[in-house]
């Protein structure tokens, strides 16, 4: 048709390598196969092996005569099947020697074409069937295997693990999950190519382990592997077997840090996936653990998981029904002769209708992982801002309160706007709502966090760095960090006042803060000794049980009244 062009997609003929030295036989087979296949001729074993080496990826099948000059056909077959690169290349043997069939089958031949040749349609049918079976098998192999490591992928791994159970019902088995800690840093340091090589090394070690000990292995994720094997008690030896060095030299001292979770002597009434979920649950408890990177599943982990699922499910109702109660712990300015109530910290508690009072140590880390912390933080901010306004009106007290800003919040571009809306709706100022940001947030993606904090300060909010001293990395970065106060880590203070009473680092940190003209807040102060020493060191504000535990609203309001400035 004028103005139009037609594109035709031609399907290339599949290639047959015919290894045959007799010209007559070559011509007969070319005549039979020529319309269906592209026939490549090799007249000797040496020539055939050279063609296979160079073109095995494009060959569909090899027709191999056993009676060849030079390298015999049986030896050609052996070399083909001993080479991992083309071991799956199907071979049909052509011979008049029926006694050679068993040996050829043992070496890996798929079928035979007898000499003299049968009818052309029989030859074509045999070749067609062999090629199709080989392609189906290769498709299955590619489908069931991870393309990088050659291990099973997760879906087929689960299927074969279930089959193992059928044949070994009474054999105790272990579900093992292991991965590389912070694998992305290996790619960053050594490059992706080297990273892939390391994954292959680990996979090879896993495959060798299951070959020697029984079982199967798979790569279930980017750097995560699974092994299903006979139960064994020596998991450290398993870890040692699987470990590799980044430079590939296993004799080296530097090994890639891995972690392992084991569901030992797995309950076979559970489906396979749940067994490996339990192994992964155990592995998650030793993330970044340097001295003990192996964890064995126990049922307390499952109970924790069930509790976590319940808390997540109950969270929306808890917000709507205001099950979360905000407690307040006072902070006292101790620079003068008499401590003065100067501010407070808002601390959330969950009064669950079925579980009772749930510890924040249980639900805060959980909500930080799944993002619910943003909704909870906003709830606490709003509740706190409303109370600050109420105390101004009813108690005639202006008392700033610090609220926690999670690291997840800091990556929300609308964070300043949300906080300003809360301040405006509650009728308080940005100076009334102090923002606590943990030290670790500054050291993780610091540029993004610092930019977010600078935006908050630009809106008039004052920033307290919480848990200062828990990481020490901030000591060298303090000059670049936008903060208005440093809150010394509770555990750090307790450690300083243990039996040895080594407070030198504590004094140095307070002195460092003063050199930057940043006030220090000490939390977790419990004794008069701690109070007096911190005051002597120059600490500005103190918070802790020495003055008061965190109080519910009614009790805190009484506390405010009792400690109200004259």
What DSSP assignment string belongs to 328-345? EEEEEE-SSSS-EEEEEE
Alpha-carbon span 383 to 328, nearest angstrom: 12
Which one-letter DSSP state was computed for residue 99?
G
pLDDT category at 247 given cuts 50, 70, 90 is low
For the ranges 23-27, 48-52, 367-371, 533-537, the lowest mean pLDDT is seen at 367-371
According to DSSP, the β-strands at 463-468 and 485-488 are: parallel
DSSP, collapsed to helix, strand or coil, labels residue 279 as helix
pLDDT for position 494: 78
Using CA atoms of 551, 555, 557, 562 in order, give the dihedral in degrees to the nearest 10.
-110
Q: Cα separations (Å) of 6 from 3, 11, 424, 462?
A: 10, 16, 68, 71
Distance CA 144, CA 163 (A): 15
Phi and psi (nearest 5°) for 3?
80, -5
Residue 470 pLDDT greater than 80, yes or no:
no
Better-scored residue on pLDDT, 248 or 35? 35
pLDDT over 80 at 106, yes or no:
yes
pLDDT on residue 166: 85
| Listed residue (432, 506, 515, 525) closest to 468, CA to CA | 506
Helices 299-320, 272-284: inter-axial angle, 10-degree rounding: 80
Question: Residue 11: pLDDT above 50?
Answer: no
pLDDT, tens only, 474-519: 455 566 678 899 988 777 777 777 766 777 878 888 888 888 888 9
CB 45 within 8 Å of CB 73: yes
Residue 233 confidence (pLDDT): 86
The pLDDT of residue 70 is above 80: yes
Sign of CA dihedral 479, 483, 484, 487: negative
User: pLDDT value at position 263?
Assistant: 93
Residue 248 pLDDT level (bands cut at 50, 70, 90): low
79-102 pLDDT, tens digit each: 998 887 888 899 999 988 877 888
Average pLDDT, stretch 531-549? 93
Q: How confident is the model at residue 8 (pLDDT cuts 50, 70, 90)?
A: very low
What are the tokens at 51?
């063609």
Give residue 159's pLDDT: 86
CA-angle at 491, arms to 487 and 494, nearest 5°: 105
- Cα–Cα distances in angstroms (integers) from residue 8 to residues 5, 14, 34, 349, in the given order: 10, 18, 22, 71
Contact 439, 478 (CB under 8 A): no
Question: Phi-psi category of 257—alpha, beta or left, where left has phi over 0 and alpha has psi -120 to 50?
Answer: beta
245-259 average pLDDT score: 69
**pLDDT tens per residue, range 288-309:** 666 788 999 987 777 777 888 8
Distance in angstroms (rounded) separating the CA atoms of residues 26 and 30:
6
Q: Mind listing the domains of the chain with CATH numbers?
A: 14-144 (3.40.50.2300), 154-297 (3.30.70.270), 322-562 (3.20.20.450)
Lowest mean pLDDT among 171-180, 342-351, 362-371, 443-452: 443-452
């Amino acid at each position: 048709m004028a103005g139009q062009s037609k594109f035709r997609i031609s399907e290339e003929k599949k290639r047959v390598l015919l290894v045959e030295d007799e010209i007559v036989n070559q011509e007969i087979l070319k005549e039979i196969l020529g319309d269906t296949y592209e026939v490549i001729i090799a007249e000797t074993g040496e020539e055939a092996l050279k063609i296979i080496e160079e073109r095995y990826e494009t060959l569909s099948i090899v027709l191999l005569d056993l009676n060849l000059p030079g390298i015999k056909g049986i030896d050609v077959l052996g070399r083909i099947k001993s080479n991992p690169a083309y071991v799956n290349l199907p071979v049909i043997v052509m011979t008049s020697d029926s006694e050679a069939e068993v040996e050829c089958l043992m070496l890996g031949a798929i079928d035979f074409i007898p000499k003299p040749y049968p009818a052309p349609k029989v030859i074509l049918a045999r070749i067609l069937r062999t090629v199709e079976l080989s392609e189906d098998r290769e498709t299955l192999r590619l489908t069931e295997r991870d393309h990088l490591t050659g291990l099973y992928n997760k879906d087929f791994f689960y299927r074969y693990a279930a089959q193992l159970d059928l044949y070994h019902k009474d054999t105790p088995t272990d579900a093992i999950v292991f991965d590389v800690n912070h694998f992305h840093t290996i790619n960053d340091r050594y490059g992706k190519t080297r990273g892939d090589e390391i994954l292959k090394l680990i996979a090879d070690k896993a495959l060798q382990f299951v070959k020697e000990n029984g079982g199967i292995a798979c790569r279930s994720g980017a750097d995560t592997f699974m092994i299903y094997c006979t139960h064994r008690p020596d998991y450290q030896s398993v870890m040692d077997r699987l470990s590799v060095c980044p430079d590939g030299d296993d004799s080296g001292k530097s090994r890639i840090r891995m972690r392992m979770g084991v569901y030992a002597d797995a309950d076979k009434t559970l489906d396979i996936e749940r067994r490996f979920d339990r192994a992964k649950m155990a592995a998650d408890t030793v993330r970044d653990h340097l001295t003990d990177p192996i964890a064995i599943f126990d049922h307390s982990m499952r109970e924790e998981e069930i509790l976590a699922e319940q808390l997540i499910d109950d969270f929306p109702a808890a917000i709507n029904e205001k099950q979360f109660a905000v407690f307040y712990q006072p902070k006292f300015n101790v620079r003068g002769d008499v401590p003065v109530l100067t501010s407070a910290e808002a601390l959330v508690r969950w009064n669950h209708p079925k579980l009772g009072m749930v510890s924040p140590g249980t639900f805060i880390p959980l909500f930080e992982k799944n993002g619910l912390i943003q909704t909870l933080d906003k709830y606490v901010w709003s509740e706190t801002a409303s109370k600050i306004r109420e105390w101004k009106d009813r108690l005639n007290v202006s008392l700033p309160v610090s609220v926690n800003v999670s690291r997840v919040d800091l990556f929300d571009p609308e964070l300043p706007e949300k906080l300003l809306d809360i301040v405006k709706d509650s009728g308080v100022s940005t100076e009334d709502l102090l923002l606590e940001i943990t030290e670790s947030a500054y050291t993780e993606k610091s540029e993004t966090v610092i930019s977010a904090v600078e935006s908050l300060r630009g809106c008039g909010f004052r920033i307290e760095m919480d848990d200062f001293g828990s990481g020490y990395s901030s000591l060298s970065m303090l000059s670049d960090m936008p903060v208005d106060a440093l809150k010394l880590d509770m555990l750090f203070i307790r450690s300083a006042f243990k039996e040895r009473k080594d407070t030198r680092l504590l004094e140095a940190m307070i002195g460092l803060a003063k050199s930057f003209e940043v006030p220090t807040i000490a939390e977790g102060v419990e004794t008069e000794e701690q109070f007096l020493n911190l005051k002597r060191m120059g600490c500005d504000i103190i918070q802790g049980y020495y003055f008061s535990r965190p109080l519910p609203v009614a009790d805190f309001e009484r506390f405010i009244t009792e400690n109200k400035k004259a």
